[in-house]
Amino acid sequence: MKTAQDKYPSRTEGAEQILTRETPVIADDSATRKGPLTAEQVSAYERDGYLFFDSFYDSTAVKVLEEETERLRVSEEVRQSELAVTEPTSGATRSIFAVQTVSDVFSKLGRDKRILEIVHQLMGNAVYLHQSRLNLKPGFQGKEYYWHSDFETWHTEDGMPDMRAISCSIALTDSYEHNGPLMVIPGSHKYFCQCAGRTPENNYQQSLKRQDYGIPSDEQLTWLTDQTGIAVPNGPVGSILLTDSNLMHGSNCNITPYPRKNAVFVYNDVNNTLEEPFGATYQRPWYLGNREPETLEPIDFSQSLSQHNVSAN
Amino acid sequence: MKTAQDKYPSRTEGAEQILTRETPVIADDSATRKGPLTAEQVSAYERDGYLFFDSFYDSTAVKVLEEETERLRVSEEVRQSELAVTEPTSGATRSIFAVQTVSDVFSKLGRDKRILEIVHQLMGNAVYLHQSRLNLKPGFQGKEYYWHSDFETWHTEDGMPDMRAISCSIALTDSYEHNGPLMVIPGSHKYFCQCAGRTPENNYQQSLKRQDYGIPSDEQLTWLTDQTGIAVPNGPVGSILLTDSNLMHGSNCNITPYPRKNAVFVYNDVNNTLEEPFGATYQRPWYLGNREPETLEPIDFSQSLSQHNVSAN
């Protein structure tokens, strides 16, 4: 466990303070750097900690992604693998980690140049895949996911040194205000909420289903939401949401008949690779925190789909 | 238990069918009857099963209602009475039934002519208070309330003969898309979902916290939402929502810091008073199903507030 020179200590049984972020949110030259984002979009990401793109993928791409999602969802091999998180009662697959290792389609999606060019513009550096997952939140009984900063977990349990990662979530179903969409606290990425308690041994086995450590206090959440309130960036299937690793987010439960599915890719700066965990006595498995970084080379995902279709016919 | 000539049988261990409603939703002459609603509003209520009025009460009324709500919330006498439903862990007051019996302000609110004139226009008859409650859904840990038709319970457990009641919910906090607002299935009031199981003895003691009987099946809910989807009528404090007694509704949980509070008055046609329950072997207590109907006489709530202020100063 590494604690020396820790800018963002958490779960230390000390006071649970709100620290001001020291790490810049974007590269110095993001606004003028070559890339798909306008200066206004770069500025909004810096200020809010997220950017939402409505219908980023067209119906052709969506159809391929939906079919591949369904193939993975019902795959018995995937369901029984260590990559799958299953529902306690039904045994149904709820999440699949490291989805690029079991799916050529999602492996290509994660390297799509349309996404990577945005990430590179914001990050100002090459990136690798820290984590990926396919989330399959069911209808009727979809459980809530309480407020958390991903970085707090990745730092404390995985040893990610700094706030230099960007997550991209691709909506694989229509997301409505009523089916448990992601909620974010705009601007919360500029603060680090120190959390209570010490991480128990192998906490991650439980925390993928229900997070008990690394959760902010009521007082911290009230303070954060008092600044800017809560935003619910949602839209139709094929929309994408880019979020800073330290953005406070969560989701309410989902009693509607509409499931909510998405794929998430976490892009980490190649100069921000994992060290010893800052607040845990174990290392989480490779599919949660990748310790063999490979710089991602952009590909043309749409182009790959037409090849995909040709080979299928 | 009364089962003869039951138009809307439920919890009979028979097939769980969706029956088409026989009872008219509104009075024959609602559209032309003297009253505050336009013909379009009457028609929308008939079609959708609800009507929403943004900021129906002004800031003067809201302030009085907020103060009275807080007085009741912290009242130890109310908390320990049979009228209060409390949180299992904290013991905090979550709902107060028959709120008109412990609060002069809410007693007057429930008879406000601005509400009653709307109810009379839709109902075409005099009404009495079947039930009332003050709901105090907390932030952070507010639980979901699963889909249900109020009429299904009032018919099965209270012996309400027919779908001749209108609920009015008055928002006592701002209601957002993210703090667990009420969700409704527009048009669902025109169908009756027969529910599974038989009502256990004294089910109501448990069902006020978590409903296990009288809940529709996944198939029924999918069918209903396939017709028209889901609507989330929400707005600022002081807004009101009128709903048909048989409208299918529910709410997701609330992990935001914002509590959600509302007062609900259930107006029942004086010709639709309670009989023996149609699907239970007990009668629920008076504060859940009123068996001593008194026709409500409209008063001027705003006027009463100025008197309230005068007497307080």
Q: Does the distance separating the beta carbons of B255 and A144 come in below 8 Å?
A: yes
Residue B255 pLDDT grade (very low, low, confident, very high; cuts 50, 70, 90): very high
Residue B91 included in any domain: yes
Shortest alpha-carbon distance between residue A255 and chain B (Å): 6
- List CB contacts (< 8 A) between A176 and chain B: 230
B3 found inside a domain: no
A221 touches chain B (CB under 8 A): yes
How long is chain B? 313
**CATH code for the domain in which residue A193 is found:** 2.60.120.620
- Sign, CA dihedral A206-A209-A212-A214, equals positive
Q: Which residues of A fall within a CB distance of 8 Å from B140?
A: 218, 221
Q: How far is B211 from chain A (nearest CA, A)?
A: 14
Tens of pLDDT, residue by residue over A39-97, are 999 999 999 999 999 999 999 999 999 999 999 999 999 999 999 998 777 788 999 99
Q: How far is B309 from chain A (nearest CA, A)?
A: 32
Full-model pTM: 0.91
**Amino acid at position B141, single letter:** Q
Does the beta carbon of B252 lie under 8 angstroms from any beta carbon of chain A?
A: yes
Question: What does the angle CA B14 – CA B17 – CA B22 come to, to the nearest 5 degrees?
Answer: 115
What's the total number of domains in chain A?
Answer: 1
Q: Is B180 on the interface with A (CB under 8 A)?
A: yes
Residues B257, A222: C-beta atoms closer than 8 Å: yes
Residues of B in contact with A222 (CB under 8 A): 257
Question: Does residue B6 lie within any of the structural domains?
Answer: no
CB-based contact A257 B218, cutoff 8 Å? yes
pLDDT at B311: 42
Of B140, B147, B258, the CB nearest to A255: B147
Q: What is the pLDDT of residues A4-42, one digit of tens each?
A: 579 999 998 878 899 999 999 999 888 788 899 999 999
Chain B nearest C-alpha distance from A55 (Å): 21
Residue B4 lies in a domain: no
Report the residue of chain B nearest A139, measured CA to CA: B218
Task: Say yes or no to pLDDT of B89 above 80.
Answer: no
Task: Tell me the percentage of chain A whose pLDDT exceeds 90.
Answer: 78
Taking each helix axis from N to C end, the angle separating B39-48 and B113-123, rounded to the nearest 10 degrees, works out to 70
Helix (H) and strand (E) counts in chain A: 9, 12
Residue A71, in any domain of the structure: yes
Burial of A299 (0-12, 13-18, 19+ CB in 10 A): middle
State the residue for tokens 């399959």.
A136
- Domain of B242 in residue numbering reads as 18-312
- pLDDT-derived band at A2 (thresholds 50, 70, 90) equals low
Cα–Cα–Cα angle for B98, B99, B100, nearest 5°? Answer: 90
Residue A76 lies in a domain: yes
**Residues of chain A found within 8 Å of residue B225, distances taken between Cβ atoms:** 256-258
Q: Looking at per-residue confidence, does B312 or A215 come out higher?
A: A215
- What is the layout of strands, in order, in the sheet containing A145-148? A145-148, A249-251, A182-184
